[in-house]
């Protein structure tokens, strides 16, 4: 469970503000004016489609997995990290690349006909623009998926820096993705807020020294509260329409 760093401000509505935000409220002015967004499950409603793609591929490989367990360890990792764990550590890189390309092509074929944003995402991004906040994308997705989502949903213009799996060696929970996004934005990690939906991404934000807002598109609030090392979480919200996020612009 989450451990409070001090008494929580009584004016926080409905308990939706996590203890980490108390310190921000007590400061004269928050310097956190750089937002870094995960893509899958955070901005774009893609996770059910990714699951369908895995459901189609894994039986072809003779692999059976528990969906919840698979999600818990794979979400946020790159495919070059996922496939060796599924198939064994000695899988040739050419085979990993082939399987990765196949799986992601399945995803894109399925997603093109049902592309959608997490509710309120576009309006929230426009609000950050109006407020003068820096915005980056930090995702373990491959470039073709990033292109499909950003261009298909008209999001690319919102971001001043984009980091995907082609830019890094390690996926989440390693902090490399978020640290590179912050570097490209010219921001200190302590000045960044990460928006995430998956356990690995939430942990990557912590390791990067960044605060985090959790979108419960893939985890329940109770599952988030049960995470270890979650003191960096500012808010847990169902989507970007939650009024609790207005506090980030105070």
- CA end-to-end distance (rounded Å), the chain: 28
Cβ neighbours for 149, distance < 8 A, ≥ 6 positions apart: 39, 40, 43, 44, 46, 115, 141, 155
Active-site choice (38, 40, 45, 174): 38
For residue 134, the 8-state DSSP code is E
Cα 54 from Cα 137, distance rounded (Å): 24
Question: What SS3 class is residue 196?
Answer: strand
DSSP-assigned beta bridge partners for residue 235: 17, 213
Instruction: Decide if 90 is catalytic.
Output: no
Say which DSSP state 40 is in: B
Four-CA torsion 166, 97, 196, 26, nearest 10 degrees: -40
User: Which residues have a catalytic role annotated?
Assistant: 38
């Amino acid at each position: 469970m989450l451990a409070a760093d001090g008494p929580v401000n009584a004016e926080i509505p409905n308990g939706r503000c996590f203890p980490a935000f108390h310190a921000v409220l007590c400061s004269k002015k928050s310097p956190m004016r750089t937002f870094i967004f995960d893509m899958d499950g955070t901005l774009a409603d893609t996770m059910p489609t990714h699951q369908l793609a895995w459901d189609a591929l894994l039986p072809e490989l003779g692999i059976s997995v528990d969906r919840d367990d698979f999600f818990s360890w794979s979400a946020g990792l790159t495919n070059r990290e996922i496939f060796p764990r599924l198939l064994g550590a000695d899988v040739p890189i050419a085979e990993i690349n082939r399987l990765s390309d196949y799986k992601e092509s399945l995803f894109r074929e399925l997603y093109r006909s049902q592309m959608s944003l997490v509710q309120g995402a576009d309006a929230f991004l426009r609000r950050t623009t109006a407020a003068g906040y820096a915005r980056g994308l930090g995702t373990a997705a491959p470039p073709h998926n990033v292109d499909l989502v950003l261009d298909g949903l008209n999001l690319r213009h919102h971001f001043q820096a984009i980091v995907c799996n082609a830019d890094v060696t390690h996926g989440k929970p390693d902090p490399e993705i978020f640290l590179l996004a912050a570097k490209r934005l010219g921001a200190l990690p302590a000045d960044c807020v990460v928006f995430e939906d998956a356990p690995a991404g939430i942990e990557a934000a912590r390791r990067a020294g960044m605060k985090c807002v959790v979108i419960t598109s893939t985890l329940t609030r109770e599952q988030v509260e049960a995470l270890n090392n979650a003191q960096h979480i500012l808010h847990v919200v169902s989507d970007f329409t939650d009024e609790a996020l207005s506090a980030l612009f105070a």
